[in-house]
Each structure stands twice: as structure tokens, then as C-alpha cells.
């Protein structure tokens, strides 16, 4: 994990490997080398997902997966743990001399973070048949690059078909990225479900004008409208209460000058809830606020959905197996929902799937300070090994 | 004006000639050519101010001036009118065969807009002795460039001393940049005073974290704190009422990603008032709000003054002369304060100074749609000519 973390390393011990950038290519190349070193059959599909299988290549494997792309100011654990943990599991099984009834495979999926190309979990969504390859290729990133072009540029526009073959089962080991396990002194999180996610991009058009000579009553300030929406988003989450969360992560104004009223603002709103009807309520309350601001300030507001996923409930058989296995290995466990989206929720569309969480110190992630203690990484990987072996037997 | 407007032209008929950029250099070179074509003695000083004199070079002139730099999304009139109107006045006097008792001169001052280097009115401030040349040279712009380096790069680090020689008097013709003259059907604005200006830059440090897994109660969201301040700024202006205006023109968040809570926000606050004690009240109320937000959100807020100018009252002799002259030429007039800062307020520190306003259609400026009708431009230039001749006699 430290070797992979050196690629795209940023100040503070973190990583920046936005999907399909040169740094992501470097990370992919390193992990593929490790897959080849284990003698695995490595296949790259049409959206750059990489699946490396051990055993009969014609049979559906027990698949272990996650991602190795990161956010712009990411850490070394998010995603990487699940992929490298999977490699470690396969290496351990190979070294042990045991041959399970079913093949094992490890995968990393393209653009899980969605930080460069929306929606997030793009690779696993396409793998599971939720997005057409042609549509995925035509997506344009925050830097204006087309996803299909970037795949070709970095050499990861693979020959294998997508959607991919449904695995026999899917298991993902991941850091919690929240404070719950650490706060409760729990070793292993048994993930029952994943929050629903709704991402909206807003474009607000006002009128640029002189900051000194334009009376307040005559302004059409796109920046003020954006700020009013951002404060409303916070109030919405507070009024609805947990588990509703709401975030304005991106906010830009133009021309972005001290003495010019903003003519244009773009911003994103990220809403999440484990309950679909509550998530819909949050979306509706937000949408109802836009015309109020637009009318009061005399601006035009356009909203576009960037990503929308309903909450997902994992297969009870896999969930029970994770819990039973962790306890058998002597770990304390807790059932919990995932606040973040994960590739596992896409694979859950096509096979029994589940997740294993290990604690995140301080609940911090998407931050260079993201950290999970070595003992917790090992505990998670051991649970993953035993779960996978049982599923493959 | 159209020829100058072609340099740094942007969509919609506007201009982008941020101070000391290549486009600003192109504009400077063109105007200097015109100054030379009139046979004027052109002098460039140590901060790039250009003064072109007609008549005895050793005597203090009646100086006409303004600026030719623009904001990023500027128009063709702001500043340019005063400089080119001044050239037209001198050309008319030369052609008429009259030789006034005192020399005439026309100047354009560096970085009046302050859009690239703060403070605004930097060139005229330095000319009037309000800022040391060395300090001005060391100012770093929004793009990281040092002002002194940029002056040298574009060939406008001149040999003439700054502060410059106080003129006998100073007159500036400018578009109103506000809606008052047009709304009242008035031809000529007689500018009595200039609003005081207070610019503050804020840096807000929070903690980046995952937008899905971080409970609302545990967030330290720099972006939310910035939005809360921006909405407070609007409320402050509304509560204080006219002539108080307040603007958040620049607002940036980092890492600026949809699913990451912002760790850093930078923003500017522009406060203006014609009354110094009211302006101080606005500053104090704003400053008192910062610790409240910082404590509630668990973020660190640092405030830095970018620019601070007290309101300025122009010389009553020049103000009366502008009014009398405009009426003599058959124009309707109105006394009014300037909402924007102008080079004239800096020159007012060292000589009798005044300003002439012409109407801005729709009150729009700092916008490509900025427009003043040709007849109004001509009326303003004719008033300027007669005022200057009287001051030079």
C-alpha cells in the first residue's frame, strides 16, 4: 500500500490519482504487474475495469474488488485496501496449496470516486449493465477530457466485453471512512446496506456589474444566490436530522473578482440517505428552494442530475457470513450502513455481494490524513480470506 | 475607442486587459503611439504610469487622466474614455492654434481596477505618494506574478520618478457606472465625492472529509463557512441601507469536488460607503461575525485588508467649474458621489481635482454590455475641453 501510495503522492502522505490521469495509469500499471507476478489471467474491459482471475478462466469466480483511483486530496487506503487485500488473499491461498472449488479473482473498477468523471462508481456501474459503454465513453470530465479518449490515451481501453460476466459472489474490503467503528471500539464493520446518493449540478446565471455603483436592490448576483443555496443545503440536513447528510463540495463564481458582481456560479449538491423516501423528500425540498432564490435575486438557475443511486441492501447470506466469520476469528463486530457509495453496490445488481469495513482513525477520509492501523488492515484481510474461501468452496 | 477595444476583445463586445498582461501591453503601446503622433513628451515612471505633456516640460500641467486596464470581463468605456477624451482635448487645442498659459498633459495610471494586483488605483496611489515604489513592485497578483517583474517584462518599468510632480490641477472624465444619470435623464454628472472602499480577503481553514460518511455535527466545512459569511454580507448591506453596498465577488473552495467537504475557502468582501463612520460600522459588524462562524463550524478564519480608502471630497473650485461649464454648454447636470473608486481621488491628495460623469446605459459596467451613447461621450469631452482650458488659462 505504501508503494502504491507513492504514485501521485501529495503533501501530508496522501494521494492524487484522479481517474485515467497519468498518475492513475502509473498506479494501474503497478497493480497489473503484481497481478501478473501471481500468474493471474488479467483482462481489461471496454471501460478500463481490470479483472485478474486465478483458476478456470471459463467459470464464474468469487470476485474481490474495489478501486485504485482517488479524489484530488485523497489518502492511501480508500479503495486501494480492497484491491491489494484481494491480491494478498489470492497469494495466501496459492501459497497454502489449497485449491478451492471455484476460481478466485480480484478486480479494480474505473472511476469509482467520480471526482473527474460523473457519475461515481462508473466502472462497476457499466460492468453490472447499468450504463452503456458508448455512453460511458462520451462522458466529459471536469477538465473537458472525454472518458473514451482518456482510456485510449493511457492504454486501458481493453478488448474484453462490458457488461462483464456476473461473478459467483462479490466481496469488498474497505475502510469505514466514518467515525462509528473507532468510536465504539469495534474491529470489523458488517455492512448491511449503502446510502442512496443524489448529486445535482447547478448553474446560476446573473448579471456582472460594478460592486461599487450598483445599488443592492438592482443586483442579480449569481454568487449570492449560490451562497444562499449552500446555506439552505446545510439547514435542510439539520432539519431532517441523521442519517440525512448534505454537502456543497464544489462552488465556483465568474468572473471571480473582488469588485465585480458574479455573473455566473456553478455548484454541486450531494444528498445522501439510507432511506429512499427520505432522500426523495430532501431532493424535493431542495428543488422547491431554487425558484424562490431565482425570483428574489433575478437570476436563472438550471439543475442537472449528475448521479442518482437508490439505497442498496446487501445479500443476507453474505452479510451473515461476514459477521459469523469475523466473530469466529475473535473480532468484535457491528452491523452498519455505508455512508459512502461503493463498487459493491453495483455488483449487488448481478450477484450476492457484501462488504467488510475496518475502522478509520478520526473518521477521516478523502484527506491525506486518512489512516487505518496495520492491525486493523490485517484483521480485515483475514476476514476477507475466510469469507472468500467459504464462498468458493 | 473601438480600435483600443479590439485589443483584448472578448465575446459580447467587451475587453479583458488585466493590468500588465500582454493585452494591457498592446493597449499601452497603441495609446503611446497616439501620444507620440500628437508630438507629446511621453514619460513612463517607475510603476508604469504614462504621462504625455504638451507645452513647457518643466512646468506643472493641467493633467487629464484615467486608466486603460480593465477587469476580466470589462467593457470599452471604463477608464478608456478619460484617457482618449484627454487626447482628443489636447488634439483639439493644438488644432485650434490657441496656446494656454499652462501646459496640458494626459496620463494613464497603472492597475486602476486592482483586478490583478491589489490595491486598486495602485498606479495613481503611488504617483500621489501613498505607496512606496518598492512596496508596489513586491505586490503579488492573483496569478502569482510579481508586479515589478511584470512591469519589466512588458517594457513599462520606466525611468521617471514616482511619486510624480503634483499637477496644477487634475480632471477625469468617466462613465458613471451606475444607473442614476440615465434614470434622471441627466446629461452630465458633477462628481462631488468618492465612496470610501474597504476590501478584505478571507482565508477559511476547515477539514476535508467524505461527504457521505461524515455526520453533519462533526463537520468543519470551510465552504459552508464561506457561504454563511457571503449571506451575512448581503444582510449587512440590506440592514444598513443605501448608500452602503457590500459584495462577495471572489469565492473559491478547495479541493472543489462534489463528494469532499471543503478544507479551504478563500473569498473577498468589498464594502463601500460615502460616510466614513458608516463604513467603519460595516467593517466592525463584519469582523464581529467571523468568530461566531469560526466557533460554530470549528474552522479558522483569517482576515487581511487588501485595500482601504476613506471617502474623498473633491475641490469645490473644480466641482463648481464642472457644473458651471456643463450648464453653459446647455447640458442638464446633477451633483452626485461616485460609487466606484477613481484615480482622481488619489490625485486629489496632491492638487485640486474633479470629475465629469456621463451616463451608463442600464447602469451596467464591468461587463461587456457596458455602453454610453456617442452623443453623451461627445458632451462629456466638450465639458472636459472647456474645463481644462479654463484651468490652464
- Contact A215/B242, CB-based, under 8 Å? yes
Nearest residue of B to residue A246, measured between CA atoms: B211
Please give the pLDDT value at position B179. Answer: 87
- Please give the average per-residue pLDDT across B248-269, as a whole number: 96
Locate B88 and state its grid cell. 482628443
CB nearest to B214's CB, from A178, A197, A261: A178
CA distance A96 to chain B (A): 37
Largest Cα–Cα distance in chain A? 80
Residues of A in Cβ contact (< 8 Å) with B14: none
Q: What is the pLDDT of residue A339?
A: 87
Q: Judge: A245–B215 Cβ closer than 8 Å, yes or no.
A: yes
pLDDT value of residue A390: 97
Contact A73 B260 (CB under 8 A): yes
3-state helix, strand and coil shares in percent for chain B, rounded to the nearest 5: 35, 25, 40
Nearest by Cα to A218 from B178, B376, B163: B178
Helix axes A222-240, A276-297, angle to 10 degrees: 150
Residues of A in contact with B118 (CB under 8 A): 258
In the predicted model, what is the mean pLDDT of chain A? 96
Verify whether the Cβ–Cβ distance A227 to B248 is below 8 Å: yes
Residue whose C-alpha is closest to residue B69's, from B87, B54, B52, B47: B47
Q: How high is the pLDDT of residue A179? A: 87
Burial A329-352 (b: 16+ CB within 10 A, else e): eebebbebbbbbbbbbbbbbbbbb
**Four-residue CA torsion sign, A125, A360, A84, A154:** positive
* Nearest Cβ partner for B218 among A179, A250, A256: A179
Q: Which residue of A has its CA nearest to B199?
A: A258
* Minimal-distance CA residue of chain A relative to B259: A249
B366: Cβ contacts below 8 Å, ≥ 6 apart: A208, A209, A210, A211, A259, A260, A261, B71, B73, B74, B75, B78, B177
pLDDT band at B177 (very low <50, low <70, confident <90, very high): very high
**pLDDT at B133 > cutoff 90:** yes
Instruction: Residue B282: name the closest of B293, B269, B295 by CA.
Output: B269
Contact A252 B252 (CB under 8 A): yes
User: What is the average per-residue pLDDT within A280-286?
Assistant: 98
* Contact (Cβ atoms closer than 8 angstroms) between residue A152 and residue A49: no
CA distances from B338 to A331, B60, B343 (A): 72, 27, 12
Q: Residue A366 and residue B210: Cβ atoms within 8 Å? A: yes
Query: Would you report the helix, strand and coil content of chain A in percent, each value rounded to 5?
Result: 35, 25, 40
Put simply, the answer to whether B245 touches A214 (Cβ < 8 Å) is yes
Q: Does the structure show a pLDDT above 90 at A176?
A: yes
Q: What is the pLDDT of residue B14?
A: 95
Residues of B in contact with A121 (CB under 8 A): none
DSSP per position, A259-279: TEE-SEEEEEEEEEESSHHHH
Given the cut 0.85, state whether the ipTM is greater than it: no
Q: Which residues of B touch A176 (CB under 8 A)?
A: 213
Residue B339: pLDDT band with limits 50, 70, 90: confident
How distant, in Å, are the alpha carbons of A13, A361, B105 from that of A367?
Answer: 9, 12, 58
Q: How far is A366 from chain B (nearest CA, A)?
A: 5
Tell me what the mean pLDDT of segment B274-285 comes to: 97
Residue B46's DSSP bridge partners are none
What is the SS3 string spanning B301-360? EEEEEEEEECCEECCHHHHHHHHHHHHHCCCCEEEEEECCCCHHHHHCCCCCEEEEEECC
Q: What is the pLDDT of residues A73-130, one digit of tens each?
A: 999 999 999 999 999 999 999 999 999 999 999 999 999 999 999 999 999 999 999 9
CA distance B70 to B89: 23
Name the β-bridge partners of B264: B205, B254
Q: Do A257 and B247 touch (CB under 8 A)?
A: no
Contact A257 B115 (CB under 8 A): yes
pLDDT (0 to 100) of residue B114: 93
User: Phi and psi dihedrals of B48, rounded to 5?
Assistant: 85, 5
Convert the pLDDT of each residue in A301-340 to its tens digit.
999 999 898 999 999 999 999 999 999 999 999 999 998 8
Whether the CA torsion A357, A361, A365, A369 is positive or negative: it is negative
Average pLDDT over chain B, rounded to an integer: 96
Query: How much is the average pLDDT of B40-54?
Result: 98
- What pLDDT score was predicted for residue B235? 98
Cα nearest neighbour of B256 on chain A: A250
- Beta strands A62-66 and A104-108: pairing type? parallel
Stated length of chain A? 393
Q: Which residue in the set B178, B255, B258 is minimally distant from A73, CB to CB?
A: B255
**A226-273: per-residue pLDDT in tens?**
999 999 999 999 999 999 999 999 999 999 999 899 999 999 999 999
Strand A9-10 and strand B196-205: the pairing is unpaired
Contacts of A114 in chain B (CB under 8 A): 258-259
Sign of CA dihedral A292, A293, A298, A300: negative
Nearest chain A residue (CA) to B16: A255
Q: Where residue B213 falls among pLDDT bands split at 50, 70, 90?
A: confident
Residue of B nearest to A259 (CA): B249
Residues of chain A neighbouring B72 (CB-CB closer than 8 A): 255-257, 260
The three cell numbers locating residue B214: 461524515
Confidence (pTM): 0.78
Query: What phi and psi values does residue B369 have, to the nearest 5 degrees?
Result: -80, 0
CA distances from A25 to A17, A154, A156, B47, B357 (A): 9, 6, 8, 48, 59
> Measured between alpha carbons, how far is residue A91 from residues A37, A77, A356, A375 in Å?
10, 20, 19, 19
What is the C-alpha to C-alpha distance for residues A296 and A292, in angstroms, rounded to an integer? 6
Does B191 have pLDDT greater than 90? yes
Cβ <8 Å between A216 and B242: yes
CB A357 within 8 A of CB A189: yes
H helices within chain A, ranges in order?
A: 2-5, 22-37, 80-96, 122-127, 133-137, 147-153, 180-184, 222-240, 276-297, 316-328, 343-347, 374-392
Q: At what angle do helices B374-392 and B80-96 cross, to 10 degrees?
A: 60
Residue A305 pairs with which residues in a beta bridge?
A: A200
**Probe site for chain B from A71, A227, A233 (most B CB atoms < 10 A):** A227
Percent of chain B scoring above 90 in pLDDT: 93
Going along chain A from its start, the domains and CATH numbers come out as: 2-195+313-392 (3.40.630.10), 200-309 (3.30.70.360)
> pLDDT value at position A253?
98
Q: Would you state the pLDDT for residue B152?
A: 98
Angstrom distance (rounded) from CA B1 to CA B188: 20
Measure CB to CB from residue A210 to each of B212, B248, B340 and give the nearest one: B340
Residue A213: pLDDT over 90:
no
Taking the CA of residue A177 and the nearest CA in chain B, the distance in Å comes to 6
Residue numbers in B near A237 (CB within 8 A): 216
Amino acid at each position: 500500500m505504501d508503494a502504491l501510495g507513492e504514485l501521485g503522492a501529495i503533501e501530508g502522505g496522501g494521494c492524487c490519482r484522479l481517474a485515467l490521469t497519468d498518475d492513475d495509469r502509473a498506479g494501474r500499471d503497478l497493480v497489473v504487474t503484481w497481478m501478473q507476478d501471481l500468474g493471474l489471467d488479467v483482462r481489461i474491459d471496454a471501460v478500463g475495469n481490470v479483472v485478474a482471475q486465478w483458476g478456470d478462466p471459463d467459470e464464474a469466480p468469487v470476485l474481490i474488488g474495489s478501486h485504485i483511483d482517488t479524489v484530488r486530496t485523497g489518502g492511501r487506503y480508500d479503495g486501494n485496501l480492497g484491491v491489494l487485500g484481494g491480491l494478498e488473499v489470492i497469494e495466501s491461498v496459492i501459497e497454502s496449496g489449497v485449491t478451492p472449488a471455484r476460481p478466485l479473482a480480484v478486480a479494480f473498477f474505473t472511476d469509482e470516486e467520480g471526482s473527474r468523471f460523473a457519475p461515481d462508481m462508473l466502472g462497476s456501474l457499466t460492468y453490472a449493465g447499468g450504463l452503456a459503454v458508448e455512453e460511458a465513453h462520451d462522458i466529459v470530465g471536469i477538465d473537458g477530457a472525454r472518458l473514451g479518449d482518456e482510456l485510449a490515451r493511457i492504454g486501458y481501453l481493453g478488448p474484453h466485453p462490458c457488461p462483464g460476466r456476473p461473478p459467483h459472489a462479490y466481496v469488498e474490503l474497505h475502510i469505514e471512512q466514518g467515525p462509528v467503528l473507532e468510536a465504539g471500539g469495534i474491529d470489523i464493520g458488517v455492512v448491511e446496506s449503502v446510502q442512496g446518493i443524489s448529486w445535482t449540478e447547478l448553474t446560476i446565471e446573473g448579471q456582472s456589474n460594478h460592486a461599487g455603483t450598483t445599488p443592492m436592490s438592482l443586483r442579480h448576483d449569481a454568487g449570492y444566490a449560490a451562497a444562499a443555496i449552500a446555506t439552505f443545503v446545510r439547514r435542510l440536513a439539520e432539519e431532517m436530522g441523521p442519517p440525512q447528510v448534505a454537502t456543497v463540495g464544489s462552488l465556483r463564481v465568474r468572473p471571480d473578482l473582488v469588485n465585480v458582481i458574479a455573473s455566473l456560479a456553478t455548484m454541486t449538491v450531494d444528498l445522501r440517505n439510507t432511506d429512499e423516501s427520505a432522500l426523495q423528500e430532501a431532493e424535493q425540498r431542495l428543488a422547491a428552494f431554487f425558484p424562490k432564490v431565482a425570483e428574489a435575486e433575478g437570476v436563472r438557475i438550471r439543475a442537472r442530475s449528475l448521479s442518482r443511486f437508490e439505497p442498496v441492501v446487501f445479500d443476507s447470506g453474505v452479510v451473515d457470513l461476514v459477521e459469523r466469520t469475523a466473530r469466529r476469528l475473535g473480532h468484535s463486530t457491528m452491523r452498519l450502513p455505508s455512508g459512502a457509495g461503493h463498487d459493491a453496490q453495483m455488483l449487488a445488481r448481478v450477484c450476492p455481494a457484501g462488504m467488510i469495513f475496518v475502522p478509520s482513525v478520526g473518521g477521516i477520509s478523502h484527506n491525506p490524513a486518512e489512516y487505518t492501523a496495520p492491525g486493523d488492515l490485517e484483521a480485515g484481510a483475514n476476514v476477507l480470506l475466510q469469507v472468500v474461501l467459504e464462498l468458493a468452496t
